[in-house]
Amino acid sequence: MSIEVRGVNKSFGAFKALDNISLDFPDGELVALLGPSGCGKTTLLRVIAGLERADSGQVLLDGEDATDRDVRQRQVGFVFQHYALFKHMTVFENIAFGLRVRPRRTRPSEKDIRAKVSRLLDLVQLGWVADRFPTQLSGGQRQRIALARALAVEPRVLLLDEPFGALDAKVRKELRRWLRQLHDELHISSIFVTHDQEEALEVSDKVILINKGRVEQFGTPWQIYNEPASAFAYGFIGAVNEFRGRVEGDFVRVGDDLLSLAGAKFQNGQDVVAFVRPHETEIVPDIGGGHGITAKVHRILGNGPVTRVELVANGESRKGETDFFEVEIPGTQLASLGIATGQRVKLTSRRISIFDQQNGNERP
Amino acid sequence: MSHSKTHRVLPGFGLSLGFTLAYLSLIVLVPVSAVFIKTAGMTAEQFWTAVASPRVVASYKLTFGAALLAAAINCVFGLLLAWGITRYTFPGRKLVDALIDLPFALPTAVAGIALTAIYAKNGWLGQFLEPLGIKIAFGPPGVLVALVFIGLPFVVRTVQPVLEDLDAEFEEAAASLGATRWQAVTRIVFPTLLPALLTGFALAFARAVGEYGSVIFIAGNIPMVSEITPLMIITKLEQYDYQGATAIASVMLVISFLLLLTVNGLQSWAAKRTGRTY
């Protein structure tokens, strides 16, 4: 089912949680709402579910205006961050709950309920815990039961609030893969909220990056990672080296050094910020002529196929802290480069993204 | 295995256990057993005449009946009160919250006099109820009113923290699964509160059974009608019939104990049924 959000605003007192958000969620896809904590992503999810009312704007489900519909009537499956499993009911009864509370004429028979619950338990691969209570399950098991419970009512949309937030790293990875598989089987339109960029990029078909109640970028994981649309997107996704300076002709002046604008058009004297990914940063051992940022090799971490070189910036940053840079080079290139700890080098880049410091928008 | 002493992480286990047992014996067990020892000095016939005389039996019925009924009433309205002060914010909520403790704080005799003054024939409420044929003061209904009054805070104060901890998420989850508000309350909220409610019931009941001060003024103390068992004990004491007094006391103790055991059994049954392990 398609989900559309039009011009949604929501404030909590003076805090603006959602600032005029308009989105069109693709049908049948798994979409991640990604952003730092407090950016409004959970609020957006709750507005879509009907658990929260927007101050203004519309929510359309399948093209129908659902803004005034109660959560009960929206037919959405909502999985809560802390699962919200009913503690006084067995796993079986938890999953059956949505079927048992139906009005008598639409309620399935006891036999059908049993069949359906055991089907769902098999789907989440937990058939053997039917008679246990939620407190007797591990976090990952609870999460899967919460999902089965939400699926029992045959929702048209599945909404998951930080589905892996409360789990440890290993279970998280397993469950991530499992959720992806489950979605590929069911093809139900799903939205999940996360603050973990790795999770968002790995699991979803599309990622919506949210910051301060606004949509920063909407795209495929590849686009989000490789073509960040704003300074915020660049900084939030993946490791990145950041250089702040002022435009001087075809260069950016960063301290005493010059960095090539690489064809980007900015006005002279404009304050800009440049982002370079570690694997797209190059180390030039010759510090004589040419442009590039001077830095000192701090550590060389050479385990495995990729060597990570940590460098210390010349002088101090604006905040009075030492700036660190990170460069990733194939392990085989390290010898030919011939660098050693403590050596002074220059950093250039194969690919650079430059944004205006004020509004964060890229200028071509 | 050798007989070496087990080492515990927390030191002082022996001392703490010894102190706990000694203190409990001194404060609770010794006085209670004195009741039974004193009673044991009676012959079976003496005992039976003391505890089974019609007047005393009538007092058992009133005391335990009114205490059970009062505790049940308090469960219903105590739950409503707890719901009101935890779920809603309204001006004066703090004041209402504080007022609930008043029956705890008020000397029982004062409560008794106040209730009597209100419900008596010429009292604030009594003057309107009397013409309707409802007589509260100086009869069994008065006993009930007094027991409801003193038992209320027990229910509110045991249910309130559980209600505060009950995350709105559970009700939201129920709603998202299609449950109506009524279904969410009866199937999710109420079963979660049940163990606390049972505890509140037990406490209110135990308090009501032993209550003397507030009841004695409003009951009217008519033999066979509105005499409570603690009054029977006092009456025996005033007649220097110490053995008779302890005999009745021992009967009260046994009945109270059995009733509390039942409530405890109910509680652990409810706990087991819901997978809790305490």
ipTM value for the complex = 0.80
**In B, which residues are within 8 Å of A150 by CB distance?**
176-177
**In B, which residues are within 8 Å of A82 by CB distance?**
167, 169
Q: What is the pLDDT of residues B163-206, one digit of tens each?
A: 988 888 999 999 999 999 999 999 999 888 888 898 899 989 98
Can you give the pLDDT at residue A363? Answer: 45
Neighbours of A31 (CB within 10 A): 20
- Among A187-191, A198-202, A264-268, A347-351, the minimum mean pLDDT is found in A264-268
Band (pLDDT 50/70/90 cuts) for residue B5 is low
CB-based contact B213:B108 (threshold 8 Å): yes
What SS3 state is found at A84?
A: coil
A86/B170 CB distance under 8 A = yes
**In B, which residues are within 8 Å of A151 by CB distance?**
none
Q: What is the pLDDT of residues A91-148, one digit of tens each?
A: 999 999 999 999 989 899 999 999 999 999 998 889 889 999 998 999 889 999 999 9
B275/A98 CB distance under 8 A = no
In angstroms, rounded to a whole number, what is the distance separating the alpha carbons of residues A103 and A93?
Answer: 17
How many Cα neighbours within 13 Å face the side chain of A27?
Answer: 6
Inform me whether the pLDDT recorded for A327 exceeds 50. Answer: yes
Average pLDDT over residues A258-270: 79
Can you give the pLDDT at residue A14? Answer: 87
**In A, which residues are within 8 Å of B178 by CB distance?**
72, 98, 101-102, 153
**Is B173 in CB contact (< 8 Å) with chain A?**
yes
Residues 6+ apart with CB under 8 A from A272: A244, A245, A246, A247, A252, A266, A354, A355, A356, A357
A101/B167 CB distance under 8 A = no
B177/A90 CB distance under 8 A = no
Residues 6+ apart with CB under 8 A from A118: A127, A130
A51/B176 CB distance under 8 A = yes
The pTM for the full model equals 0.78
CB-based contact A176:A202 (threshold 8 Å): yes
**CA neighbor of B151 nearest in space, from B216, B219, B215, B227:** B215
Q: How far apart are the first and last CA of chain A?
A: 37
Band (pLDDT 50/70/90 cuts) for residue A316 is low
**CA neighbor of A53 nearest in space, from A22, A10, A6:** A10
What SS3 state is found at B235?
A: helix
Can you give the pLDDT at residue B156? Answer: 94
* Mutate: best of B171, B177, B188, partner A, most A CBs <10 A: B177
CB-based contact A186:A201 (threshold 8 Å): no
Task: For residue A70, give how far its alpha carbon lies from the nearest alpha carbon of chain B (Å).
Answer: 9
Q: DSSP letter for A291, please.
A: -
> What are A212's two structure tokens?
């301060």
Inform me whether the pLDDT recorded for A319 exceeds 60. Answer: no
Chain A residues within 8 Å of chain B (Cβ atoms):
49, 51, 70-72, 76-78, 80, 82, 84, 86-90, 97-98, 101-102, 132-136, 149-150, 152-153
In angstroms, rounded to a whole number, what is the distance separating the alpha carbons of residues A45 and A58?
Answer: 13
Size of chain B, expressed as the number of residues it contains = 278
How many Cα neighbours within 13 Å face the side chain of A75?
Answer: 14
Q: Which of B175, B178, B188 sits opposite A86 (nearest CB)?
A: B188
Residues 6+ apart with CB under 8 A from A294: A256, A257, A287, A314, A344, A345, A346, A347
**In A, which residues are within 8 Å of B183 by CB distance?**
101
B177/A98 CB distance under 8 A = yes
Bridge-partner residues for A310, per DSSP? A299, A326
Band (pLDDT 50/70/90 cuts) for residue A55 is very high
Inform me whether the pLDDT recorded for A361 exceeds 70. Answer: no
Strand ranges in A237-280 using DSSP code E only, listed in sequence order: 241-248, 251-254, 257-260, 271-276
| Per-chain mean pLDDT for chain B | 87
What SS3 state is found at B197?
A: helix
Can you give the pLDDT at residue A37? Answer: 87
Can you give the pLDDT at residue A364? Answer: 40
Q: What is the pLDDT of residues B195-252, one digit of tens each?
A: 889 889 998 998 899 888 889 888 888 888 888 999 999 999 999 988 889 999 999 8
CB-based contact A192:A33 (threshold 8 Å): yes
**In A, which residues are within 8 Å of B192 by CB distance?**
87-88
Higher-pLDDT residue of B78 and A322 is B78
Domains along chain B with CATH numbers: 45-274 (1.10.3720.10)
Q: Which residue of B has its CA nearest to A74?
A: B176
Higher-pLDDT residue of B16 and B121 is B16
Q: What is the pLDDT of residues A193-227, one digit of tens each?
A: 999 888 899 899 999 999 989 999 999 999 998 88
Can you give the pLDDT at residue A73? Answer: 86
Average pLDDT over residues B89-115: 89
Radius of gyration, alpha carbons of chain B = 23
How many helices and strands, by DSSP H and E, does chain A display? 9, 20
Can you give the pLDDT at residue A320? Answer: 57
CB-based contact A300:A309 (threshold 8 Å): yes
Inform me whether the pLDDT recorded for A69 exceeds 50. Answer: yes
A134/B275 CB distance under 8 A = yes
Q: What is the pLDDT of residues B12-70, one digit of tens each?
A: 888 899 999 999 999 988 988 888 888 888 888 888 988 888 999 999 999 999 999 99
Q: Residue type at A306?
A: V
Inform me whether the pLDDT recorded for A315 exceeds 70. Answer: no
B275/A87 CB distance under 8 A = yes
B176/A102 CB distance under 8 A = no
In angstroms, rounded to a whole number, what is the distance separating the alpha carbons of residues A102 and B179?
Answer: 7
Inform me whether the pLDDT recorded for B121 exceeds 90. Answer: no
CB-based contact A80:A51 (threshold 8 Å): no
Q: Which of A72, A82, A90 sits opposite B175 (nearest CB)?
A: A72
Task: For residue A176, give how far its alpha carbon lies from the nearest alpha carbon of chain B (Å).
Answer: 22
A97/B174 CB distance under 8 A = yes
The 3-state secondary structure of A303-331 reads: CCCEEEEEEEECCCCCCCCCCEEEEEEEC
A135/B276 CB distance under 8 A = yes
The alpha carbon of A360 is separated from its chain's Cα centroid by a whole number of angstroms, namely 19
Q: Which of B167, B177, B192 sits opposite A97 (nearest CB)?
A: B177
Bridge-partner residues for A312, per DSSP? A296, A324
Can you give the pLDDT at residue B12? Answer: 83
Q: Which residue of A has its CA nearest to B168?
A: A84
Average pLDDT over residues A5-29: 90
In angstroms, rounded to a whole number, what is the distance separating the alpha carbons of residues B29 and B22?
Answer: 10
Higher-pLDDT residue of A100 and A231 is A100
**In B, which residues are within 8 Å of A158 by CB distance?**
none
Which residues between 176 and 235 in chain B have a beta carbon less than 8 angstroms from any beta carbon of chain A?
A: 176-180, 183, 187-188, 191-192
Query: Which residue carries 């598989």 as its tokens?
Result: A181
